[in-house]
């Protein structure tokens, strides 16, 4: 007696399928595979976006509430420096100070953008595994099953 998995039979199957039926099954399976890969890529991108949203919200809040405070602090500091040197030089000192902080922030942001990995790595890996298997279907895949729940 043959054991069936879906429509594919194992050992001792006596029924012969036509080439058209085999092609139809292969196309259906390929279509399902493409759909699953697309769903995996979408899930990975959504997961990455969900991780970035709190950072963006925090940055916007810090900018909205921090900018007026920084402006007041800068004027206060410039006028304070103006007690020892002319006020114009106090404002220039504060401009240089904030310019250096902006440059430092730009360098930190540039390094963070370089490290940002927006590619759906698991999807790329499964597509490569599927392509490798398609080239050599008798060789079992070497990678383990990867799920979004474990990451």
Measuring CA to CA, which residue among 44, 38, 55, 33 is closest to residue 134? Answer: 33
Evaluate whether residue 26 is within a structural domain: yes
Evaluate whether residue 106 is within a structural domain: yes
Evaluate whether residue 149 is within a structural domain: no
Evaluate whether residue 127 is within a structural domain: no
The whole-model pTM stands at 0.41
Domain count, the chain: 1
State residue 144's pLDDT score: 55
Evaluate whether residue 28 is within a structural domain: yes
Task: Decide if pLDDT at 5 tops 60.
Answer: no
Q: Which domain holds residue 102?
A: 17-119
Give yes or no for a contact between 89 and 97, defined as CB atoms under 8 angstroms apart.
Answer: no
Give 81 or 123, the one with higher predicted confidence.
81
Measuring CA to CA, which residue among 102, 63, 100, 95 is closest to residue 77? Answer: 95
Measuring CA to CA, which residue among 117, 112, 113, 81 is closest to residue 96? Answer: 81
Q: For 14-44, how does the pLDDT look when each residue is reduced to its tens digit (9 = 90+)?
A: 467 788 888 888 888 888 888 888 888 888 8
Evaluate whether residue 115 is within a structural domain: yes
């Amino acid at each position: 007696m043959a054991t069936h998995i879906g429509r594919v039979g194992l050992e001792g199957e006596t029924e012969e399928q036509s080439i058209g039926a085999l092609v139809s099954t292969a196309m259906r399976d390929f279509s399902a595979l493409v759909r699953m890969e697309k769903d995996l890529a979408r899930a990975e991108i959504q997961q990455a976006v969900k991780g970035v949203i709190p950072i963006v919200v925090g940055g916007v809040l810090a900018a909205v509430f921090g900018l007026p405070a920084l402006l007041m602090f800068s004027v206060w500091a410039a006028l304070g420096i103006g007690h020892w040197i002319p006020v114009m030089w106090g404002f220039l000192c504060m401009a240089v100070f904030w310019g250096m902080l902006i440059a430092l922030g730009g360098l930190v942001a540039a390094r963070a953008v370089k490290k940002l990995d927006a590619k759906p790595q698991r999807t790329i890996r499964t597509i490569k595994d599927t392509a490798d298997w398609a080239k050599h279907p008798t060789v079992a895949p070497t990678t383990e099953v990867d799920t979004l729940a474990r990451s």
